[in-house]
Amino acid sequence: MVLAGGLGGSRLALALAETIDPGELTIVGNVGDDVEILGLHVSPDLDTILYTLTGRLDEAKGWGRAGETWNTLETVAELGGESWFRLGDFDLGVHLVRTEALRRGEPLSAVTARIARALGLEPTLLPATDERLRTWLATPAGELPFQEWFVARGHRDGVDGVRFEGGEAARPAPGVIEALEAADLIAIAPSNPFVSVGPILAVAGIREALEGRAVPAVAVSPLIGGEAVRGPAGRMLAHLRGGTGPQHVTDCYKGLIDALVIDEADADAEAGVRTIVTRTLMEDAEGRRRVAEAVLESVAALR
């Protein structure tokens, strides 16, 4: 089982799906980034996973679909509608189907499973929760909803704290706890620990199941040489945890992991937990295989 945010999450999920039987893999995705745009429910991280593992991701952007067209968005912009969050024509089809289903009362997990099946996804993809859970950032400019901070303001505002609206009350989506209990290994993807993995762990039932795990849990550090591969994770670790070394990543997962996969560039730094050292950049199939093998090695090493 893998707990995954968007791009980093989907890369590790793909790495594992290419290395083990993909039907044996369960991916639990972040929904704290979910947002309503033009009346449509968008689940960016679930979609990044769906698109990555079915060969549809726009690799250059790291979100949305390859070969996308923007006719609808252009019309929306012409009409003065909401166009800051760029929804492409192909992508919109997914949001239409999802939103219609949710309005009819179908749970997010059920419509996600339907979309996944239709797109040919082999692993099981589960949202962390079917209930409303939203990430908010405390910044010097005030508290901002996730996508306003990340996309509209380009995650330039410093983050003094993260809050998960609905996190305490949210129950794990059907299948999440069962998958956690049936797993041979629990992996935490090299996603942002605060805003990508944080919302998953904010679901009390998931955190408790992870704390009480009977199998090894291993995280892959999102850092290479003390810097995040992409996005604001480095800046957030520095400000909220006091540094950008393996130990600061471990500190985000206290009591939740037995090992941390770190990059060769960070091998000399203290981690506060058992480490597995490899090259962690997953740029190509070879890089993904290396990381998947390091993660899977930890099962044998920790048993």
Site residues (vs ligand FO1, CB under 6 A): 5-6, 33, 42, 44-45, 47, 63-64, 85-87, 91, 147, 150-151, 196
CB of 271 to ligand FO1, least distance (A): 25
Sheet holding 2-4, edge to edge: 124-127, 26-29, 2-4, 186-188, 217-220, 259-263, 274-278
CB of 2 to ligand FO1, least distance (A): 15
Q: Which is nearer to ligand FO1, 22 or 62 (CB)?
A: 62
The region, left, alpha or beta by phi > 0 then psi within -120 to 50, assigned to residue 120 is: left
CB of 51 to ligand FO1, least distance (A): 8
Q: Which is nearer to ligand FO1, 91 or 258 (CB)?
A: 91
CB of 8 to ligand FO1, least distance (A): 9
Residue 53: closest CA among 102, 112, 141: 112
Gap between the Cα atoms of 147 and 161, Å rounded: 15
Dmax over CA atoms of the chain, in Å, equals 60
Gap between the Cα atoms of 170 and 106, Å rounded: 17
Gap between the Cα atoms of 45 and 51, Å rounded: 10
Joined together, the tokens standing for residue 275 give: 């480490």
- Name the helix (H) or strand (E) containing 262: strand 259-263
CB nearest ligand FO1: which residue? Answer: 6
Q: Which is nearer to ligand FO1, 196 or 278 (CB)?
A: 196
Residue 16: closest CA among 60, 70, 43, 52: 52
The secondary structure of residue 171, as a DSSP letter, is P
CB of 60 to ligand FO1, least distance (A): 12
Q: Which is nearer to ligand FO1, 145 or 272 (CB)?
A: 145
Q: Which is nearer to ligand FO1, 230 or 279 (CB)?
A: 230
By the 8 A CB rule, do 14 and 54 touch? Answer: no
CB of 85 to ligand FO1, least distance (A): 5
Q: Centre a 10 Å sphere on the Cβ of residue 120 and count the other Cβ atoms it contains.
A: 11
**Where in the chain does DSSP place strands (E)?**
2-4, 26-29, 35-37, 40-42, 124-127, 134-139, 142-145, 161-165, 186-188, 217-220, 223-224, 227-228, 259-263, 274-278
Q: Which is nearer to ligand FO1, 151 or 204 (CB)?
A: 151
CB of 227 to ligand FO1, least distance (A): 18
CB of 95 to ligand FO1, least distance (A): 8
Q: Which is nearer to ligand FO1, 17 or 57 (CB)?
A: 57
By the 8 A CB rule, do 267 and 277 touch? Answer: yes
Q: Which is nearer to ligand FO1, 158 or 243 (CB)?
A: 158
